[in-house]
């Protein structure tokens, strides 16, 4: 029933019951199964008829105050005392709500544009597949290839011999330099540059620097999303490689010959120096800095503002600090660090007492 409704009407213009939601999301109900919602809402601002979710324990207090009619809640979270809202329990509330938001976005968005706007430049040797959109003032270089269903927004540059896969979205002002490869179903946000020269310079006896030609490319595999104003440098030799399913935030610097493993996520303002290899399924916070030529094991978790100066060889570690150490060790160390002024005072006092005793 719900799937049919979602396919035929906007979520914001209809009523859906808790029973229907639970059936569609494979959840269980706590409360009134017949209560209905007609909108998606932030939990802090929700009113009657609103649907919201709780995936993190720090939001549990809002369950007592929200006006939402239905809350989608992760199975492991306990709500006590009972709340007025009907609870739909699912394995992962964030994923369930993301599915609803995605469907809502699809239904409310205007149809995707198709066709070639003018003025723009498309090389006669470029290959453009069916159902492609190319916005005004775009440049498509020699022997470039644009896959079926891809959208290239205005003021975008697609270099010579560059390949863009199917069903991609390349937003305004993106620059894809020569010979780069973008896989299928990728999203590249505005202002991003892929394939700029790596930072390679050889120091000379007179103190100057000889530029090292960057002759490789960048390969981005399928289902990657790259945030706005991120830069990914081409390899000196070979390829800088962003593997399947990677998610990069805004304002990230990826240097030459870096490899980022499948399904790794990296938050904003992280910088990765050349030839570093980051494993699969890593989670990296904002403003993390990586030294060059490192190997980072799979499933590594790195807290924001950490500095990674050496290899991470064990999988599934959590790290924090600069230079980074194990997360729990950092927490224990920080407790002592906060006490250093007091400990220093006590040490000076103790030292004076010892000196007085020795006189």
Q: DSSP string spanning 98-141?
A: HHHHHHHHHHHSPPPP-EE-SS-EE-TT-EE-TT-EE-TT-EE-
Helix axes 327-338, 340-358, angle to 10 degrees: 50
**276: its two tokens:** 């570093």
Looking at 26, 145, 155, 256, which residue is catalytic? Answer: 256
Residues of CATH 3.40.1390.10 domain(s) within the chain? Answer: 2-108
pLDDT mean across residues, the chain: 92
pLDDT for 11 = 45
pLDDT for 14 = 62
Is 2-108 CATH 3.40.50.1220?
no
Q: What is the CATH number that goes with domain 115-331?
A: 2.160.10.10
Mean pLDDT of 203-231: 97
Helix (H, G, I), strand (E, B) or coil at 346: helix
List the strands of the sheet with 115-116, edge to edge.
Answer: 115-116, 133-134, 151-152, 169-170, 187-188, 225-226, 247-248, 265-266, 283-284, 301-302, 318-320, 325-326
Active site residue 256: yes
The torsion angle over the Cα atoms of residues 200, 304, 312 and 92, rounded to 10 degrees, is: -120
pLDDT digits (tens, 9 = 90+) for 258-297: 999 999 999 999 999 999 999 999 999 999 999 999 999 9
pLDDT digits (tens, 9 = 90+) for 23-53: 989 999 999 999 999 888 899 999 999 999 9
Residues of CATH 2.160.10.10 domain(s) within the chain? Answer: 115-331
The 3-state secondary structure of 130-159 reads CCCEECCCCEECCCCEECCCCEECCCCEEC
pLDDT digits (tens, 9 = 90+) for 152-193: 999 999 999 999 999 999 999 999 999 999 999 999 999 999
């Amino acid at each position: 029933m719900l799937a049919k409704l979602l396919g035929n009407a906007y979520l914001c213009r209809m009523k859906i019951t808790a029973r229907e939601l639970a059936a569609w999301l494979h959840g269980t109900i706590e409360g009134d199964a017949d209560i209905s919602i007609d909108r998606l809402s932030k939990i802090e601002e929700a009113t009657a008829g609103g649907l919201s979710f709780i995936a993190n324990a720090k939001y549990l207090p809002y369950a007592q105050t929200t006006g939402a009619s239905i809350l989608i809640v992760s199975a492991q979270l306990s709500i006590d005392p009972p709340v007025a809202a009907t609870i739909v329990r699912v394995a992962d509330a964030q994923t369930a709500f993301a599915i609803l938001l995605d469907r809502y976005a699809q239904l409310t968005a205007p149809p995707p544009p198709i066709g070639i706007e003018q003025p723009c430049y498309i090389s006669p040797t470029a290959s453009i597949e069916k159902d492609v959109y190319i916005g005004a003032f775009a440049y498509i270089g020699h022997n470039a290839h644009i896959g079926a269903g891809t959208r290239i927004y205005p003021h975008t540059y697609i270099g010579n011999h560059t390949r863009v896969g199917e069903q991609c979205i390349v937003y305004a002002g993106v620059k894809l330099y020569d010979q780069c490869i973008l896989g299928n179903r990728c999203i590249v946000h505005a202002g991003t540059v892929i394939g700029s020269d790596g930072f390679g310079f050889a120091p000379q006896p007179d103190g100057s620097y000889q530029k090292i030609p960057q002759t490789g490319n960048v390969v981005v595999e399928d289902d990657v999303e790259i945030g706005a104003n991120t830069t990914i440098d081409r390899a000196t030799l070979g390829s800088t490689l962003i593997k399947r399913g990677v998610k990069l935030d805004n304002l990230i610097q990826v240097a030459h010959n870096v490899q980022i493993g499948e399904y790794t996520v990296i938050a904003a303002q992280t910088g990765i120096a050349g030839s570093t290899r980051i494993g699969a399924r890593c989670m990296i916070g904002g403003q993390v800095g990586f030294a060059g030529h490192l190997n980072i094991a799979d499933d590594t978790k790195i807290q924001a503002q950490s500095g990674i100066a050496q290899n991470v060889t064990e999988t599934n570690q959590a790290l924090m600090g600069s230079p980074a150490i194990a997360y729990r060790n950092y927490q224990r160390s920080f407790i002592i660090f906060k006490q250093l002024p007091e400990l220093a005072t006590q040490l000076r006092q103790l030292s004076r007492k010892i000196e007085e005793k020795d006189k």
